[in-house]
Amino acid sequence: MNDKDGGASRRDFLDLAMKGGLAACAAGMAVPAGLYLLPAGSRGPGEAFVPAGPAEPFEALSARMIQGEGRPVLVLSLGAKKFRAYSAICTHLGCIVKWDPATQKILCPCHAGSFGPDGKVLGGPPPRPLPEYEVVLVGNELKVKV
């Protein structure tokens, strides 16, 4: 369906414009839906040690948030110089988790996910435990391998 001069007709142009608009609309809905349905990815331990502050005074059953290689890390004090560190990125959709000293759980504020002090899923939608990082005590200084 060409015009007399060999160019595209008005109908062809409108058909193409409508198809392009529908494709853009579909992509605009599909990309966020796909990101929502895929669980958040978080990497496991790397090679670098980052400082996590002094071990004393770090009260038992408390936590501190640090940055390790640009990622949030939750460091827990379990008492008697026992420390654990986990990725602070929820394994469900990537929200930042927090330590709740009243319940002694790691809680995700986005979808009510909860993890125990061992990083294992206690409830909610997270599909897997939080990745754990190695913690070492050098003198009075805590270091986390991220």
Range of the structural domain that residue 93 is part of: 49-145
* 34 inside domain: yes
pLDDT in tens, 4-41: 566 678 888 888 989 988 888 888 888 777 666 665 54
Could you give the number of structural domains in the chain?
2
- Mean pLDDT over 97-126 rounds to 93
118: domain CATH number? 2.102.10.10
Q: Looking at the structure, do residues 27 and 56 belong to the same domain, yes or no? A: no
In whole angstroms, what is the distance from residue 42 CA to residue 48 CA? 16
- Do the domain assignments include residue 43? no
**Global confidence as pTM:** 0.67
Q: Which of 137, 139, 125 is nearest to 78 (CA)?
A: 137
Structural domain includes residue 44: no
C-alpha dist (Å) from residue 33 to 1, 41, 109, 111, 113? 38, 16, 21, 17, 20
Are 69 and 5 in the same domain? no
Are 33 and 62 members of one domain?
A: no
3-state helix, strand, coil in the chain (%, to 5): 20, 40, 40
Token pair 């890390």 is found at 73
Condensed to tens digits (0 to 9), the pLDDT of residues 35-93 reads: 666 655 445 455 678 888 888 887 888 888 988 878 899 999 888 888 999 999 999 88
Same domain assignment for residues 23 and 1: yes
Asked if residue 60 belongs to a domain, the reply is yes
